[in-house]
Structure 1
Amino acid sequence: MTPVCLFPRQNKNKLPPKQICSVDSLPRPTLIDFHGVSMTHYFTSNWEKIQSFQARPDDIVIATYPKAGTTWVSFILDLLYFGQTTPERQTSMPIHIRVPFLELDIPSLLLSGTEMADNLPTSPRLIKTHLPVQFLPKSFWEQNCRIVYVARNAKDNAVSFFHFDRMNKVEPEPGDWNSYLQRFMDGKMVFGSWYDHVTGWWEKKQTHSKIHYMFYEDLIEDTGREIDQLCHFLGLSPSVEEKERVRGGVQFDNMKKDNMVNYSTVEIMDSKISPFMRKGKVGDWKNHFTVAQNEQFDEDYKKKMKNTTLQFRTEI
């Protein structure tokens, strides 16, 4: 069995890798109810350290429901801040090290997300999370950190999450598509209900000026425009040439070929089953939903989203 190292020896932080067990011996987790949100032990076993994590005022959080464009926006921010000053990061350090996953904790395989974030040498630190708004460590609010939230329409999000769960060994077994879609509607997913997640962060944005709420569909439609809005939120003033370099670098086909971004170096994910970066499109749900499933989903969606001003596009 091949030993796994998600935090390679050549990383710039000089942190020791953990290389104790193999992917083959890593058990698929089961869902647990954690303070009213479906989670797994890979995201709750380090809870005390997560909640006591000490943010810094210049930290930038990338918050999303899983499979909503997390890596895309992480890469955009990494290029905006460090693409010119430390270009070697782009070719020597996988994105999951440049932008650590705060709540992830697989002790036998890698350093915890809190350890990785604590040891980031960059300023600002870019930190990603899938936590619902009520679970975000309080120090991020106390330090008034900037938060970039990315949301994706529910139908495409469900499809992408399904294929992700098929190939990711630290996710529960997905089962068949029909039962999976029902679980998605019921909120029995890792990190809980999509509906609660996107509306919870949306409501927080109404009273918190340091949250920039983005939509995956907008990024697909006009990446350059969304980068401009991100720069305005972050107080960045890159040149036209630099913005164009970033926009070109983060096109889906370029990211899919980039081994430092496409998670091909992470052995808990089996790209033979489904690539981490699969299609990157809006509307792929039409290739998965039956007419009956779509009608049922739409009816359920209207009930769950009737009390919010949040609006999504399922096609562009």
Structure 2
Amino acid sequence: MQEILTLLFSLGDARPAKTIPNWERAPWLEQIYCREALRDTETPRLLTTHLPAHVLAPALQRSKAKVIYVARNPKDVAVSFYHFHHLAKFLPDPSSFDAFLTQFLEGTVHYGSWFDHVKGWLGQRHLLDILYITYEELHQNLRGTAQRLSNFLGCPLAPGTLAALEQHCSFSAMRDNAMANYSLIPAEIMDHSQGRFMRKGEGERGWGRWGTAGAAALTPHALCATGVVGDWRSHFSPEQNALFNRRYQEEMGDTELPSQWPMA
């Protein structure tokens, strides 16, 4: 989303996305550097955050901010977040995937419960100027999603912007762009020896289906996100999948979601 919005606001000019790290173009609100990064930034400003609604929404309700909320299939979120724990030195060792999945379902991971996070921001639909997007939509229909974003932001699509989006915002392009793949993050923050933040390809997967004990050998390149929709199927055991489905139904069964994810 950071890359898409950068290109929308630059009218398709990819130079900012290729020369400025995304954490400077769209700084993380919860990071200490955010205020300084915004000091000389011209409007419209882009901000990124994982903060839950109960923390941030009250301030947004008093502002003119437009909010774009990106949600993803929680099973893919759990797998991706597990990988990220092996890279991020500021996060605890996730232990086995089975143990991490239990914490994820209990909401005892960083930023808390996925279920509460999604329901919290859905509850702001009548209080904020907010657009809900899913990761799957971005993956399956980039052009259509870009048009929705353009309409929401009042930022007309300039000639050539869609072509630039398709070229620059593909997973492979972002994976190879040092301004987007987090390879410039200092080693004291991210352990790059554990793998790349973004990687893709069957030959790079390196690990099979996890059993309930999580007893599988990890290879360094296997600890990064693939960007694949539905990649959780390569990692969940039948027991883990059944457990997750029960919890999902308990938490989200009565929730009106803008999009449904295939949970089977």
Contact residue 27 and residue 34 of structure 2 kept, 8 A: yes
Task: Return the match for 1:289 from 229, 236, 240.
Answer: 236
The residue number in structure 2 matching 1:126 is 46
Question: Quick one: which amino acid aligns to residue 312 of structure 1?
Answer: Q
Residue 237 of structure 1 aligns with which residue?
Answer: 156
Question: Residues 120 and 74 from structure 1, CA distance in 2 versus in 1: closer, same or farther, beyond 3 angstroms?
Answer: farther
Change in 2 beyond 3 A, CA 1:200/1:178: same
Residue aligned with 2:68, SS: strand
State the secondary structure of the residue aligned to 1:204: coil
Question: Shift in Å at residue 202 of structure 1?
Answer: 1.1
Does 1:273 find its partner at 2:200?
Answer: no
Structure 1 position 75, deviation (Å): 1.0
SS of equivalent to 1:123: coil
Q: How far did 1:175 drift?
A: 1.3
Which residue identity is paired with 2:246?
A: E
Cα offset, 1:208, TM superposition: 3.1
CA distance in 2, matches of 1:194, 1:288: 19
- Deviation of 1:121 after TM superposition, in Å, equals 1.7
C-alpha displacement of 1:114? 3.0
2-structure distance, mates of 1:281, 1:195: 21
Aligned to 1:145: 65
Find the partner of 2:3 among 75, 89, 100. Answer: 75
CA shift digits 1:159-197 (9 cap, x unpaired): 000001111111222111000000000000111100000
- Aligned-partner SS, 1:214: strand
Amino acid corresponding to residue 180 of structure 1 in structure 2: F
In structure 1, distance between residues paired with 2:172 and 2:75: 22
Contact 1:168 1:270 in 2 (8 A): yes
CA gap of 1:309–1:84, structure 2 versus 1, over 3 A, is: closer
Give the match for residue 47 of structure 1: none
Match of 1:307 among 251, 254, 257: 254
Distance 1:248 1:143 in 2: 34
Question: d(CA) in 2 for partners of 1:305 and 1:137?
Answer: 21
CA distance in 2, matches of 1:94, 1:115: 15
Among 12, 25, 28, the residue aligned to 1:101: 28
- 1:177 corresponds in structure 2 to 97
CA shift for structure 1 position 120: 4.0
2:212 maps to none
SS at 1:127's partner residue?
Answer: coil
- The answer for unaligned runs of 5 or more in structure 2 is 199-224
* Count of aligned pairs between the two proteins: 235
% identical aligned pairs: 34
TM-superposed CA distance for 1:145, in Å, is: 0.8
TM-score between both structures, scaled by the size of structure 1: 0.70
The Cα shift of 1:92 comes to: 2.6
| TM-score normalised per structure 2 | 0.83
Contact 2:60/2:128, CA 8 A, preserved across alignment: no
CA RMSD of aligned residues (A): 1.9
User: For the residues of structure 2 that align with 1:120 and 1:178, how far apart are their CA atoms?
Assistant: 45
Deviation at residue 82 of structure 1 after TM alignment: 2.2
